[in-house]
Amino acid sequence: MSTSDPAINKVAEKVQVDLVKEKAEILRRYRGLLRAIPGERSAEDSRLIRKAFNIAVEAHKDQRRKTGEPYIYHPIAVARICAEEIGLGTTSVVAALLHDTVEDTDLTLDDVKDLFGPTVTTIIDGLTKISGMQFQTDSVQAENFRKVLMTLSQDVRVILIKLADRLHNMRTLDSMARDKQLKIASETSYLYAPMAHRLGLYNIKSELEDLSLKFQEPDTYSDISQRLKKGEAVRKRFISRFIMPIREAMEKEGFKFQIKGRPKSVYSIYNKMQKKHVSFDEVYDVFAVRIIIDTRPELEKADCWKVYSIVTDFYQPNPDRLRDWIALPKATGYESLHTTVMSPGGRWVEVQIRSVRMDEIAEMGVAAHYRYKDNEEHSSALDNWLGRIREVLEDPGSNALDFVNDFKLNLFSDEIVVFTPNGEMRSLPANATALDFAYEIHTRSVGIALVPR
Ligand code: MN
């Protein structure tokens, strides 16, 4: 067969076109990532992120995901979740782009250290270690687990990036085999969703729970989500009527605010049905509304109570259901004022009142809180937050036990020997063969052509 065979040429052309398209798509996703990174970026930050991107592209260039897509889509997506949905900065974006390189490619930890220094290396090392761990779900080894968490919390970004990694894997779980789906989904609901909850990442927790349920109990999941969809129009109509007088009164008082009806997650309904042995309708019956006010920090507490007073002017509150998490924030940092009131139609409505700042903390975790502190760089703010997590973990009298009890798993060592659910000892793969690969990439800047200058 000669290469002038038209059929072969056609195939070759087609592959080439696809590769060109893919390259463009990789770049498009990379630019999307850059846009998603919060705050201003120094030239040095931009340089580091581009370097990490180039190295990751090169390292994963021959790998594809189960979907057939280029593997690099995954680290880009994980980095984007870190930036956009958790609010992390440059170091985390760099580590997220490289998070699978040491485990899955020829790049070694030493290479990473040479290229990016000790912080990124510690994070990648932690991520590689977690990914080798076998989680046991039928017995509790709280103390061991606490130790491991403490090691990981040397830099909590390890856990945060791991959560972003898991979230993207759950979002793309459709293409996996059924047994893999079940294993990953149960690990997610057992370990990662509670972890996200503990770190105050409400949206991520909720999505992880919903996705787990979708794969673990597909029928229940689709039943509840269909009922939710069916009730959506009624719920919206009811809520808009309910908030009308509140809205008018607040406008009269000169508040700047937003009111949202809060759709319940599939999992939260499922969970209540299970726990309280009630029907879908009984759980669904309680509607929830969130009032978010744009106000100055020194006024936010008083303003929240003013809004409470407006709400209860129109609707009778249930005194047993008043929750003041402003005076006493939850351990996760969650602040909000909750009340449940009776609507004219005899339906209970939960009303959540909070400031914009409190809302960001509720959605993105305590990391968001420190963005509001004055005269502090984002990075040192994050350090404070990590320090707080460490304190909680290290203080046996505080929430440490709760923290640990949330994760019912068994880890015997924070080093390299772990036990499988069958009790078999397993050592993690030793570091891959050291190649001068990355150094060469670095000095010759291979792959830089992928990035617009
Ligand atoms: Mn990954």
Cα–Cα distance between 4 and 400 in angstroms, integer? 70
Q: What is the CA(246)–ligand 1 centre distance, in A? A: 46
Tokens 């927790």 belong to which residue? 205
Cα–Cα distance between 442 and 114 in angstroms, integer? 10
Q: What is the CA(61)–ligand 1 centre distance, in A? A: 15
Q: What is the CA(99)–ligand 1 centre distance, in A? A: 6
Q: Are strands 348-355 and 337-342 parallel, antiparallel or unpaired?
A: antiparallel
In this structure, are residues 283 and 272 in contact, taking their beta carbons and an 8 Å threshold? yes
pLDDT at 413: 22
Q: What is the CA(224)–ligand 1 centre distance, in A? A: 30
Cα–Cα distance between 272 and 286 in angstroms, integer? 12
Q: Is 350 a catalytic residue?
A: no
Cα–Cα distance between 40 and 124 in angstroms, integer? 25
CB contact set of 262 (below 8 Å; sequence gap of 6+): 288, 289, 290, 352
Sign of CA dihedral 238, 244, 250, 254: positive
pLDDT at 10: 54
Per-residue tokens: 3: 């290469």
CA 9 to chain centre: 45
In this structure, are residues 188 and 181 in contact, taking their beta carbons and an 8 Å threshold? no
DSSP-assigned beta bridge partners for residue 341: 317, 349
Angle between helices 157-171 and 142-152 (to 10 degrees): 100
Sign of CA dihedral 167, 173, 174, 179: negative
Alpha-helical runs (H) found in 253-299: 266-276, 280-284
Residue 241: count other Cβ atoms within 10 Å of its Cβ.
12
H-run or E-run covering 114:
helix 109-132
pLDDT at 292: 97
Q: Please state which of the four CATH numbers 3.40.50.620, 3.30.43.10, 1.10.3210.10, 2.60.40.10 is assigned to the domain occupying 15-201.
A: 1.10.3210.10
Q: What is the CA(77)–ligand 1 centre distance, in A? A: 10
Q: What is the CA(165)–ligand 1 centre distance, in A? A: 5
Global pTM? 0.72
Q: What is the CA(315)–ligand 1 centre distance, in A? A: 49
In this structure, are residues 352 and 262 in contact, taking their beta carbons and an 8 Å threshold? yes
Type of residue numbered 78:
V
Task: Give, for all 453 residues of the chain, the pLDDT tens digit.
Answer: 444 454 555 555 555 668 889 999 999 999 999 999 877 889 999 999 999 999 999 999 999 998 889 999 999 999 999 988 888 889 999 999 999 999 999 999 999 999 999 999 988 988 887 766 555 544 434 444 555 556 555 677 888 899 999 999 999 999 999 999 998 998 888 778 877 876 778 889 999 999 999 999 999 999 999 998 888 888 889 999 999 999 999 999 999 999 988 778 899 899 989 988 998 888 877 788 999 999 999 999 999 999 999 999 999 999 888 999 998 877 667 899 999 999 988 888 999 999 998 988 787 765 555 444 433 344 444 455 556 555 655 555 544 444 444 432 222 222 222 333 433 333 222 232 233 333 323 333 332 222 222
Q: What is the CA(167)–ligand 1 centre distance, in A? A: 10
Q: Considering only CA atoms, which of 197, 169, 198 is closest in space to residue 184?
A: 169
DSSP label at 319? Answer: G
pLDDT at 196: 81
Per-residue tokens: 265: 């997650």
In this structure, are residues 452 and 27 in contact, taking their beta carbons and an 8 Å threshold? yes
Cα–Cα distance between 127 and 152 in angstroms, integer? 9
Tokens 């409470």 belong to which residue? 308
Q: What is the CA(191)–ligand 1 centre distance, in A? A: 17
Is CATH 3.30.460.10 what the domain over 230-364 is classified as, yes or no?
Answer: yes
Q: What is the CA(78)–ligand 1 centre distance, in A? A: 7
Cα–Cα distance between 76 and 98 in angstroms, integer? 9
pLDDT at 49: 97
Q: What is the CA(87)–ligand 1 centre distance, in A? A: 19
Angle at 209 between CA 207 and CA 213, to 5 degrees: 115
H-run or E-run covering 339:
strand 337-342
Catalytic residue selected from 22, 45, 84, 104: 104
Residue 123: count other Cβ atoms within 10 Å of its Cβ.
28
CB contact set of 444 (below 8 Å; sequence gap of 6+): none
Cα–Cα distance between 180 and 186 in angstroms, integer? 10
Structural domain spans, the chain: 15-201, 230-364, 413-453
DSSP label at 191? Answer: I
Q: What is the CA(105)–ligand 1 centre distance, in A? A: 12
Q: What is the CA(429)–ligand 1 centre distance, in A? A: 17
Catalytic residue selected from 25, 84, 103, 363: 103
Q: What is the largest CA-CA distance in the chain?
A: 86
Q: Is 103 a catalytic residue?
A: yes
